[in-house]
Amino acid sequence: MTDTLILNADGLPLSVVPLSTLNWQAAIKLQFLENAEVLAYYEDWDVHSPSTTLQVPAVLLLREYVKVNRGVKFSRNNVLLRDDHKCQYCGLDASHDKSLLTLDHVVPRFHGGKTRWDNVVAACSKCNLEKAHFMTMKPKCGTPKRPDYYQLVAKAQNMPIDVPHESWAQFTGWNPELVTIKPRRRRRNTL
């Protein structure tokens, strides 16, 4: 996650999966060009140039509405989110440690299976090794499907999230009980 939460002109994040963020340099540029309004600053983070000192924005609101494509990219994180961080063969819940899961091709690549939504599921290492390149094990979910953006958002907002500033909590849409503020250690930055 980068430094500044970016909100569309309607006050909602540009995307939730993944959460729309910018690095501090791009955020200051948007602010300087007056393309965005700052809703919150990091109180303890300033950047310096020889003649100027600026506070780094924590949350920016774009001045003009940006139409956002709500397509879902195929990625490891999105497959794990779709599958609720559970092995689709034995049901192992790995929501506490995503590294316990791998991605498995239902129809193995050895047999012509493709890497796409309808052929990849989350699997624990044990089940993935047991299945290997055979097609004897079938996922409990049946045939996996491509999720839509809003299904993934609903699942993501039920998972814990770490954010670098308390102001993010009111704009992300997450239940406040699932939001943990983990401030970043800052070093001195210059423009």
Banded model confidence at residue 146, pLDDT cuts 50, 70, 90: very high
Average pLDDT of the residues in 48-77: 92
Confidence (pLDDT) at 56:
92
pLDDT digits (tens, 9 = 90+) for 88-98: 999 999 988 99
Q: CA 65, CA 126: separation in Å to the nearest integer? A: 47
Q: Cα 86 to the chain's mean position, in Å?
A: 18
Confidence (pLDDT) at 137:
86
Banded model confidence at residue 140, pLDDT cuts 50, 70, 90: confident
| Contact between 84 and 155 (Cβ < 8 Å) | yes
Confidence (pLDDT) at 1:
53
Instruction: Tell me the average pLDDT of the chain.
Output: 90
Confidence (pLDDT) at 188:
55
105 burial via Cβ count (<10 Å: 0-12, 13-18, 19+)? buried
Domain range summary for the chain, segments of one domain joined by +: 4-68+158-190, 76-147
State which amino acid sits at residue 9: A
Q: Residue 44 above 90 pLDDT?
A: no
Banded model confidence at residue 69, pLDDT cuts 50, 70, 90: confident
Pick the CATH number of 76-147 from 3.30.450.20, 3.30.1360.200, 3.20.20.100, 1.10.30.50: 1.10.30.50
Confidence (pLDDT) at 191:
56
Question: 6 versus 141: which is more confidently predicted?
Answer: 6
Banded model confidence at residue 116, pLDDT cuts 50, 70, 90: very high
Q: CA 61, CA 45: separation in Å to the nearest integer? A: 19
Question: 138 versus 39: which is more confidently predicted?
Answer: 39
Confidence (pLDDT) at 134:
83
Q: Residue 186 above 80 pLDDT?
A: no
Average pLDDT of the residues in 2-29: 92
